[in-house]
Amino acid sequence: MNHQEQAKDWDIKLTVGYATDRGLKRQLNEDSLIASEPIFAVADGMGGHEAGEVASGICVRTLGESSIIGEHSPVFSAADLEDLLREADEHIRAETGGRAGTTLSGVVLVEESGMPYWLFFNVGDSRTYRLSQGRFGQISVDHSEVQELVDRGHITQEQAAGHPRRHVITRALGTGDDSEADYWLMPVEVGDRILICSDGLSTEVPEERIYSLLSSLTDPQQTADALVEETLRCGARDNVTVVVVDAHGADGDADLHTTAPRTIGADTAAAAAEAEAERS
Q: Give the mean pLDDT of the chain.
A: 83
Those residues with Cβ within 8 angstroms of residue 127's Cβ, 6 or more apart along the chain or in another chain = 105, 138, 140, 142, 195, 196, 197, 199, 201, 202
Closest C-alpha among 59, 12, 7, 10 to residue 194: 12
Q: pLDDT tens digits, residue range 154-203? A: 556 665 565 555 667 899 999 988 899 999 999 999 999 999 999 999 99
Between CA 245 and CA 230 the distance in angstroms is: 19
Q: pLDDT tens digits, residue range 122-157? A: 999 999 999 999 999 999 999 865 655 655 665 566
Those residues with Cβ within 8 angstroms of residue 49's Cβ, 6 or more apart along the chain or in another chain = 28
Comparing 228 with 159, which gets the higher pLDDT?
228
| Phi, psi (degrees; rounded to nearest 5) at 278 | -65, -20
Confidence of residue 33 (pLDDT cuts 50, 70, 90): very high
CATH topology of domain 12-277: Phosphatase 2c; domain 1 (3.60.40)
pTM score of the predicted model = 0.85
Distances (CA, A) of 124 to 106, 145, 257: 11, 10, 31
**Where along the chain do its domains lie?**
12-277
Judge whether 47 and 257 are in contact, CB under 8 Å: no
Distances (CA, A) of 99 to 11, 96, 173, 230: 45, 6, 11, 32
Distances (CA, A) of 187 to 9, 16, 35, 232, 246: 15, 18, 20, 34, 14
**Is the pLDDT confidence value at 6 over 70?**
no
Q: pLDDT tens digits, residue range 63-89? A: 999 877 765 555 678 888 999 999 999
DSSP-H helix ranges across 46-77: 51-64
Rounded to an integer, the average pLDDT of 28-35 is 96
Rounded to 10 deg, the angle between the 78-96 and 51-64 helix axes is 140
